[in-house]
Amino acid sequence: MHLQPTLVGTLVTVRPLVADDWAALYAVAADPLIWEQHPNHDRWREEVFAGFFATALASGGALAVLDATTGAIIGSSRYHGYDAARSQVEIGWTFLARAYWGGRYNGELKQLMLTHALAHVERVVFFVGLHNIRSQTAVQRIGGVRVADRPNSAGVESACFEITRATFAAAGARP
């Protein structure tokens, strides 16, 4: 499975995140309201975001999300923890500028990412902070089913959601 594909939709384009994206992505991330329910609620601070950005680049799965009309960076997401033996990958670390909140942009982003992932694996998982109700609702809106509460890869207790190839197809989407 290619973890940094270029995916093109009507509203968003997704491409590999690169070091030159720092200024544009930090301009989005500098909004404290994006992070208010997130476990790392101070990620809007430049020094905190710098660590997040460096980890994203090093992950090999980080993606820049662009407005398909303007080409402007409006956020980021990531594939993580691809496990061929378990036929699973995680989608996470997603954030969008508040002007793009409301479901349409995140919905298309996740549709693109799920279609790509589920062509290669049977299951996609999402770990969401226990108090991040906004993101939990967004994952449920795209068909995520809460299967457990357990620590994420950083050891933070999280709600774990999953979408399988079968449930994605049953919802009318095609991997």
Cα 154–chain centre separation: 16
Report pLDDT for 175. Answer: 52
- Rounded to 5 degrees, φ, ψ at 126 are -130, 130
d(CA 30, CA 42): 10
d(CA 12, CA 35): 21
Report pLDDT for 40. Answer: 87
Enter the DSSP assignment of 130.
T
Whether residue 173 is predicted with pLDDT greater than 90 in this model: the reply is no
Rounded alpha-carbon distances, angstroms, from residue 53 to 20, 33, 47, 67, 127:
11, 18, 10, 20, 19
Whether residue 59 is predicted with pLDDT greater than 70 in this model: the reply is yes
Non-local CB neighbours of 24 within 8 Å, separated by 6+ positions: 72, 73
CB 106 within 8 A of CB 138: yes
pLDDT digits (tens, 9 = 90+) for 134-168: 889 989 988 999 999 988 888 888 999 999 999 99
Report pLDDT for 108. Answer: 96
Domains of the chain with bracketed CATH: 7-170 (3.40.630.30)
Compute the average pLDDT of residues 14-22. Answer: 98
pLDDT digits (tens, 9 = 90+) for 68-127: 999 999 999 999 999 999 999 999 999 999 999 987 999 999 999 999 999 999 999 999
CA dihedral 89, 27, 24, 47 (to 10 degrees): -70
Report pLDDT for 174. Answer: 53
CA dihedral 43, 48, 53, 59 (to 10 degrees): -90
